[in-house]
Amino acid sequence: MSNVRKIIHIDADCFYAAVEMRDNPSLKEKPIAIGGPEGTRSVLATANYPAREYGVRSAMPTSVAKRLCPSLCVITGNMDKYRQASQQMHDIFKRFTQEIEPLSLDEAYLDVTHSIACNGSATQIAEMIRKMIADEVGITVSAGVATNKFIAKVASDWQKPNGLTVVTPAEQSRFVQSIPVKAISGIGKVAQEKLAELGVFTCEDLQDIEFSLLLKRFGSMAFRLSQYALGIDERPVVLSRERKSISLERTFAKDLSGVEPCNAILPALLVDLKKRMSGRNFDSQISKYYLKLKFDDFQQTTVERPLKGKLSDQVFYALLEEAYERGRRPVRLIGVGYRLKPPQALQLELPF
């Protein structure tokens, strides 16, 4: 079957925490998490497996995590160190294929269909990558090997941590039937509840549902659900992920009452935004300013304005005034950023 693709999904195990444990082995047996300090509204970026045994999870408020696990060690984190580890991982990927789609610092799809490494064995390539990352980066990753991105991503999570799951074409149908619908990307809690009302908990259950009923219940999501239920995913591995914006946001320990306290915070946010922009050649790609506010009732609003002429910090103050008027409530979060134009296609010289 020469037309069968060979896709590998690599996902580091509790990446940020793993890097911290690598650099400080005394942390390995302790419950640790990466996030902001207790007493603030910060949330956790990740937690190691000892912490997860207490129910601690990523995106959980630090205060909640500390209640679940009083001995939890919360580390602020070091993005420069994590980016370096990520680059090491990608350098290893490139030894086997140039067809790499990064999803985040610690996660990527690899298309090894045409790779001649390891005699073309996707399974052996995945094993080699996992070994090299363990030896050279000092952390573990889990991998899924399959004929498409959907199945490979599910498979990489099948035997975490430090696992490898291979789904061959012959095994694919049976494997897909066992996939819980909650493992399908985009199926959140509400969609899971709707599916549960139909008696659908696995892809095998989903295969028995008429498409017309899915369409009625899920609209545009119905086609993707019906395809994934059968293990069909034609999406290619995209070699570069186009950045659509650059931004940052801050959640405050105490709500900001009124527009003036918000104005007082804005200069520091804009300094941090400029640091994030520095040296990355985004200025020529900026198409719009945007600003986001989240109020104390968790309602949020976003205001945008096209770039005209030179960049000006004053635009953000005008956006802040406009956004605040929409809610006129205490503010718990401010986000600032720029929308980016897609980069112009490059003319490439191809060898013949």
Q: Put the strands of the sheet holding 7-12 in their side by side order.
A: 100-104, 107-111, 7-12, 141-146, 164-166
Is position 322 annotated as part of the catalytic site?
Answer: no
| Residue 11 among known ligand-binding residues | yes
| Residue 23 among known ligand-binding residues | no
Distance CA 86, CA 105 (A): 5
Distance CA 249, CA 242 (A): 21
Indicate the burial class of 240 (C-beta count within 10 angstroms; 0-12, 13-18, 19 or more). Answer: exposed
The answer to whether the CB of 140 falls within 8 A of the CB of 163 is no
Say which of 38, 53, 107, 197 is annotated catalytic.
107
Give residue for tokens 């400080």. Answer: 24
Contacts 24+ apart (CB under 8 A), 194-199: 194/218
Nearest to 167 by CA among 13, 12, 2, 9: 9
288: how many CB neighbours lie within 10 A of its CB? 15
Residues belonging to the binding site are: 11, 106
Which sequence positions are flagged as catalytic?
107
Residues belonging to the binding site for Mg(2+) are: 11, 106
